[in-house]
Amino acid sequence: MDTEDGSFLLAVESQGRPAADKPASWAYYLSYVYAKYRIPPVLLVVCADRGTAEWAARQVDIGPRQWCSLSLRPLVLGPDDVPVIDSPDEAARDIPLTVLSAALHRRDPGADAILNALAKALKGLSADDENTATTFIELTEQGLGTTQAAELWRHLMAVDLSFFQSQTAQQLRAESRAKDLLLLLGHRGVEVSEEDRERIVGCGDPDVLGLWFSKALTATSTAEVFASDGESGADAG
């Protein structure tokens, strides 16, 4: 990172919970990169949990009590350090910050509003910015992890941003349609074997899944569902 006050090296780490051995590891990281690059390092620790953020922000002195040889002071970003961006206009002005806001507030009640604002901001990007949008889509998905907010994000990507033809967006649409298909079959009482389930989940083509979904509205077996792409019931497994 180059600034008016000089250059520094930024090392970023995501921390999900307190860990007693981390301060020693962080001190090693910083010492190593400083010895290798001879550029002042800064450790940025990103925490979606407020308690973890408070723990990570503590200064750790390394050395005997009589003489501290090294002081570790990470720069910490937690939910209280990044604003909730729930306005589409504000999100459009700073999409990277909105992605970070979504990741750090993923467990908060306002997570849905952030994701909706982010989706509208991405939708406003031109076709020339598809690669940029894809990058933000991927980063958001990674930042949300396995939280409930991640499910909403997949839905938004499959519906509101379906015009993106990137591999990532297509995968998100396929995952959403596969989940809807399984829910429909379960609701209608159609038996789904483990092989059938793997086939549905493993299908990466949203169009094929959409065709299967249409058949599932009236089908009484998965054989009838899979026959929609020209296969016989015997071959459907």
Q: For residue range 28-44, what is the model confidence (pLDDT) as tens digits?
A: 999 999 999 999 999 99
Same domain for 196 and 138: no
Same domain for 174 and 144: no
Asked whether 137 and 115 are in contact (CB, 8 A), the reply is no
Same domain for 127 and 114: yes
> Can you give the residue range of the structural domain that contains 212?
166-237
Same domain for 27 and 16: yes
- Dihedral sign for Cα atoms in the order 179, 184, 185, 187: positive
Q: How many domains does the chain have?
A: 3
Asked whether 34 and 40 are in contact (CB, 8 A), the reply is yes
Same domain for 226 and 210: yes
Among 139, 132, 98, 136, CA closest to 117: 98
Q: Cβ of 102: how many Cβ atoms within 10 Å?
A: 29
* Interval 103-157: pLDDT, tens: 999 999 989 999 999 999 988 876 566 678 878 888 898 888 888 898 888 888 7
Global pTM reads: 0.60
Kindly give, in sequence order, each residue whose CB lies less than 8 Å from that of residue 88, ignoring residues fewer than 6 positions away.
Answer: 116, 117, 120, 121, 124
Domain boundary residue, one of 163, 182, 200? 163
Q: Cβ of 178: how many Cβ atoms within 10 Å?
A: 21
Same domain for 77 and 6: yes
Same domain for 159 and 224: no
Same domain for 218 and 232: yes
Domain boundary residue, one of 139, 163, 187? 163
